Amino acid sequence: MIIASSFGHAQRDWEEFNMKEDTKNIQKRLAKIQQSLKVAKNQRNNFGNYNYRSCEDILEAVKPLLNGCTLIISDEVVNVGERYYVKATAYLGNGKSEISVSAYAREAEEQKGMSPAQITGSASSYARKYALGGLFAIDDTKDADTMDNSTQKETPKTVSRPAQEEMNLGVCKKCGASNLMSQSRNVYCSAKCWLVKKE
């Protein structure tokens, strides 16, 4: 009896250890994918005048990096108050443990030129894209290396005039020489017949 109990306890400890190791393993695999994954914003919205990445772009870029892991994306429609949302969940697993991230997108009540099925599909794509973005830590900032700087003109540098010309405050009433202001904001006569210190 005691031996069986000890064995059962040891078995549970071993299973807990294996679960922790599996969790560490999937976390390491996810971290490696996150570090390697690059998804450019190759899609263009001409109406809104911006570039974006689609769910399909993310999937195409991540598949070669999975290395035996499984990626599953699921959707469900949930009702919150009087509105419907599509909840997308992206799962990354290795057969023993998994990590998941969910994202929500609200269905528009109506969208000009779209059927109800297309509205749901659009919300699904949006939610899936953001679930994948959350799982794989894809940010929305533009990478400086991917920017097209070829059309940017170099802005000419402003060359300032000599300091005395910029600070000329007219003519001294006593001697007719120029009144000047120094960089420390002291006003004085260039002939040095007077000086006013400013704070």
Instruction: Report the chain (199 residues): mean pLDDT per 10 consecutive residues.
Output: 51 57 83 93 90 94 94 94 92 92 90 88 93 90 45 45 46 66 58 57
Cα separation of the two ends of the chain: 92
Q: In Å, what is the CA distance from 102 to each residue of 2, 5, 67?
A: 46, 41, 23
Amino acid at 47: F
Place of tokens 């170099």: 154
Place of tokens 């560490």: 24
Nearest to 127 by CA among 71, 70, 51, 54: 54
Q: What torsion, rounded to 10 degrees, do the Cα atoms 75, 80, 84, 85 define?
A: -40
Whole-number pLDDT of residue 194: 57
Whole-number pLDDT of residue 111: 83
Whole-number pLDDT of residue 128: 95
Q: In Å, what is the CA distance from 87 to each residue of 39, 64, 73?
A: 23, 26, 10
Element (H, E) at 92: strand 83-93
Whole-number pLDDT of residue 82: 87
Other CB atoms within a 10 A radius of the CB of residue 55 amount to 20
Report d(CA 180, CA 80) in Å as an integer.
70
Report d(CA 24, CA 94) in Å as an integer.
11
pTM of the model: 0.60
